[in-house]
Structure 1
Amino acid sequence: MKKLLTLVLLFTILISKSFAQRIDSTLAIYANQFPQERMYLQYDKPAYSTGETIWFKAYVMSGILPSDISKNGYADLYDADGRLLAHSVFPIVEGSFHGQFDIPDSIATPFVHVKAYTAWMLNFDTAFLYEKDIRILQKTPKPITKTNNTPSVQFFPEGGDAVVGLPSKIAFKAIDGTGKPAKIKGFVLNNANAVVDTIKTQHDGMGFIRLTPKAGETYTAKWHDEQNAVHQTPLPAAKAIGATLEINAGDNKKGFIIRRSADAPGNMQQLHIVGTMNQQLVYMANVNLQTSQFIGGAIPTEALPTGILQVTLFDSNWSPLAERICFINNKEAIFEPEAGFKALGLGKRGKNTFEIDVPDTIIANLSIAITDKGIGVDSTGNIISSLLLTSDLKGRVYKPDYYFSNNSDSVAQHLDLVMLTNGWRRYNWQAIVKGEFPDIKYSNDTSYLTFSGKIYGVTSSQLRSAGQLFAIIKGKDSITQTVTAAIKSDGTFEDPNMVLFDSAKIYYQFIGNNNLADMSEVRFMNNVLPSQKRIVFDKSKMVSLQDTAGLARLRYLASEEARLKELAKGTTLQGVTVTTKAKSPLQKLDEEYASGLFQGSDAYQFDLTNDPVSNAYQSVFAYLQGKVAGLQITTNGTNASLSWRGGSPSLYLNEMPVQDVSQLGSMSMADIAYIKVFRPPFMGGFNGANGAIAVYTKKGGPSQAAPGKGLPYKNVIGYTVMKEFYSPNYATIDPRNEAEDLRSTLYWNPMILTTAENHRIILNFFNNDVTDAFRIIIEGVSKDGRLTHIEKVVE
Structure 2
Amino acid sequence: MPLINIAQEPSDSIQKAKKTPPEIEKIYLHTDNNYYTVGESLWYKAYSVYAYTNQLFDHSKILYVELLSPESKIISRNITNLEGGLGHGDFILADSLGIKPGTYQLRAYTNWMRNYGDDFVFKKEIQIITPNKENVILSKENDNTKTVSKSKKDYSKVEDPAAFLIDFFPEGGSLVEEVISNVAFKATDFFGNPIDIKGTVYNSNDKPITLFKSIHDGMGKFILLPEKNQKYYAIVITPDNDEIKINLPEVQKTGYTLSMNSVDNKKVVSIKTNTATLTQNPDADLTLICTTRGITYFEGSQTLKDTKLSFILPEENFPEGIVQITLYDKLSRPQSERLVYIEKNNAINVSLSTDKKQYAPKEKINLSLSAKDKQGNPLIANFSIAATDTNGITENFDHKQNICSYFLMASDIKGKVHNPNYYFNYSNPARLFHLDLLLLTQGWRDFVWKNFPNLNENQNFKVEKGISITGKVENLFGTTAKENNQVQMTLLNNKATAMLNDTTDVNGKFAFNNIDFKGTATMLLNTTNQKGKNSGEIVLDSIYNQPIAVDFKAYKPLNEEENKITQIKTSIRNKNILFNIPEENQLRDVIITAKKKKDDTTESRYGFADFTYIPEENRTRPSNIFILLQIAIPNLTATANSVRFNRYNGPALILVDGIETDINLLSSISTDDIAKIEAIKGPGAAVFGSQGANGALIIYTKLGKGSATSKKVFHSIAMPINGYQNTRFFYSPDYSQLNPLEKDKADIRNTLYWNPYIQPDEKGNTTISYYNNEVDTTVNIDLEGITNNGIPIVVKSSYQIKK
Fold-level similarity (TM above 0.5): yes
Question: Which residue matches 1:377?
Answer: 395
Equivalent AA in structure 2 for residue 426 of structure 1: V
Return the offset for 1:582. Answer: 12
* Structure-1 separation of matches of 2:598 and 2:786: 34
Return the offset for 1:420. Answer: 0.6
Question: Which residue matches 2:609?
Answer: none
Return the offset for 1:775. Answer: 0.7
Q: Does residue 95 of structure 1 match 2:85?
A: yes
Pairing of 1:203-222 with structure 2 (within 5 A): 203-222=216-235
* Structure-1 separation of matches of 2:456 and 2:262: 33
Question: Which residue matches 1:23?
Answer: 14
Q: Greater share of helix residues, 1 or 2? A: 1
Question: Which residue matches 1:42?
Answer: 30
Count of aligned pairs: 647
Cα deviation digits, residues 490-510 of structure 1 (max 9, x gap): 5655486x6222333201346
Pair 1:268–1:225, CA change in 2 (3 A): farther
Return the offset for 1:194. Answer: 1.9
For 1:425, which of 440, 444, 447 is the aligned residue? 447
Pair 1:83–1:516, CA change in 2 (3 A): farther
* Structure-2 separation of matches of 1:313 and 1:140: 58
Q: Bigger shift: 144-153 or 86-95?
A: 144-153
Pair 1:720–1:86, CA change in 2 (3 A): same
Question: Which residue matches 2:410?
Answer: 390
Question: Which residue matches 1:789?
Answer: 794
Pair 1:314–1:729, CA change in 2 (3 A): same
Question: Which residue matches 2:353?
Answer: 340
Question: Which residue matches 1:469?
Answer: 488
Q: Does residue 273 of structure 1 match 2:288?
A: yes
SS at match of 1:535: coil
For 1:130, which of 102, 116, 122 is the aligned residue? 122
Equivalent AA in structure 2 for residue 53 of structure 1: S
Q: Does residue 179 of structure 1 match 2:185?
A: no
Equivalent AA in structure 1 for residue 336 of structure 2: A
Pair 1:279–1:792, CA change in 2 (3 A): same
**What is the identity percentage for the equivalent residue pairs of Structure 1 and Structure 2?**
24
Cα deviation digits, residues 448-481 of structure 1 (max 9, x gap): 33x7545544899986673x735142x5xxx343
* Structure-2 separation of matches of 1:420 and 1:102: 41
Cα deviation digits, residues 696-718 of structure 1 (max 9, x gap): xxxxx986579756763244331
SS at match of 1:777: strand
Q: Does residue 140 of structure 1 match 2:162?
A: no
Pair 1:588–1:551, CA change in 2 (3 A): same
Contact 2:100 2:129 (C-alpha < 8 Å) held by counterparts: no
Contact 2:14 2:332 (C-alpha < 8 Å) held by counterparts: no
SS at match of 2:547: coil
Equivalent AA in structure 2 for residue 130 of structure 1: F
Q: Does residue 748 of structure 1 match 2:754?
A: yes
Task: Identify unmatched segments of 5+ residues in structure 2.
Answer: 1-6, 147-162, 604-676, 689-695, 699-715
Question: Which residue matches 2:314?
Answer: 300
* Structure-1 separation of matches of 2:481 and 2:93: 51
Equivalent AA in structure 1 for residue 461 of structure 2: Y
Q: Does residue 551 of structure 1 match 2:565?
A: yes
Contact 2:298 2:317 (C-alpha < 8 Å) held by counterparts: no
Return the offset for 1:736. Answer: 3.1
Return the offset for 1:531. Answer: 2.9
* Structure-1 separation of matches of 2:334 and 2:366: 57
Question: Which residue matches 1:614?
Answer: none
Return the offset for 1:277. Answer: 0.9
Return the offset for 1:391. Answer: 0.6
Pair 1:790–1:436, CA change in 2 (3 A): closer
Question: Which residue matches 1:441?
Answer: 460
Return the offset for 1:116. Answer: 0.9
SS at match of 1:419: helix
Cα deviation digits, residues 287-315 of structure 1 (max 9, x gap): 323x4333222331113110010011222
* Structure-2 separation of matches of 1:36 and 1:58: 16
Question: Which residue matches 1:684?
Answer: none
Cα deviation digits, residues 274-293 of structure 1 (max 9, x gap): 1111221112222323x433
Question: Which residue matches 1:314?
Answer: 328
Pair 1:406–1:472, CA change in 2 (3 A): closer
For 2:248, which of 235, 238, 249 is the aligned residue? 235
Contact 2:472 2:481 (C-alpha < 8 Å) held by counterparts: no
Question: Which residue matches 2:595?
Answer: 588
For 2:520, which of 478, 503, 510 is the aligned residue? 503
* Structure-1 separation of matches of 2:312 and 2:524: 66
Contact 2:587 2:742 (C-alpha < 8 Å) held by counterparts: no
Contact 2:111 2:461 (C-alpha < 8 Å) held by counterparts: yes
Return the offset for 1:195. Answer: 2.0
Contact 1:486 1:493 (C-alpha < 8 Å) held by counterparts: no
SS at match of 2:276: coil
* Structure-1 separation of matches of 2:574 and 2:466: 41
Pair 1:79–1:172, CA change in 2 (3 A): same
Equivalent AA in structure 1 for residue 49 of structure 2: M
* Structure-1 separation of matches of 2:587 and 2:778: 32
Return the offset for 1:783. Answer: 0.9
Q: Which protein has the larger Cα radius of gyration, Structure 1 or Structure 2? A: 2
Q: Does residue 262 of structure 1 match 2:275?
A: yes
* Structure-1 separation of matches of 2:108 and 2:222: 39
Contact 1:243 1:321 (C-alpha < 8 Å) held by counterparts: yes
* Structure-2 separation of matches of 1:579 and 1:425: 47
Alignment TM-score, normalising by the size of structure 1: 0.73
Q: Does residue 765 of structure 1 match 2:770?
A: yes
Pair 1:236–1:341, CA change in 2 (3 A): same
SS at match of 1:28: coil
Contact 2:472 2:538 (C-alpha < 8 Å) held by counterparts: yes
Contact 1:244 1:322 (C-alpha < 8 Å) held by counterparts: yes
Equivalent AA in structure 2 for residue 122 of structure 1: R
Pair 1:549–1:787, CA change in 2 (3 A): farther
Pairing of 1:367-766 with structure 2 (within 5 A): 367-373=384-390, 374-377=392-395, 379-406=399-426, 410-423=430-443, 424-427=446-449, 432=453, 437-445=456-464, 447-449=465-467, 453=470, 456-457=473-474, 466=486, 469-473=488-492, 475=493, 479-487=494-502, 490=505, 492=510, 494=512, 499-509=516-526, 518-521=535-538, 523=540, 526=543, 528-532=544-548, 535-540=550-555, 543-544=557-558, 547-548=561-562, 550-556=564-570, 587-589=594-596, 704=680, 712-738=717-743, 739-756=745-762, 759-766=764-771
Q: Bigger shift: 560-569 or 414-423?
A: 560-569
Return the offset for 1:381. Answer: 1.4
Question: Which residue matches 2:641?
Answer: none
Question: Which residue matches 2:159?
Answer: none
Contact 1:162 1:213 (C-alpha < 8 Å) held by counterparts: yes
SS at match of 1:369: strand
Equivalent AA in structure 1 for residue 595 of structure 2: K
SS at match of 1:263: helix
Contact 2:355 2:366 (C-alpha < 8 Å) held by counterparts: yes
Cα deviation digits, residues 296-337 of structure 1 (max 9, x gap): 2233111311001001122222222221111011222x7442
Cα deviation digits, residues 110-129 of structure 1 (max 9, x gap): 21122211112111131332
Pair 1:109–1:224, CA change in 2 (3 A): same
Pair 1:733–1:512, CA change in 2 (3 A): farther
Question: Which residue matches 2:703?
Answer: none
Q: Bigger shift: 270-279 or 134-143?
A: 134-143
Q: Bigger shift: 323-332 or 401-410?
A: 401-410
Question: Which residue matches 2:339?
Answer: 325
Pair 1:536–1:182, CA change in 2 (3 A): closer
Pair 1:505–1:518, CA change in 2 (3 A): farther
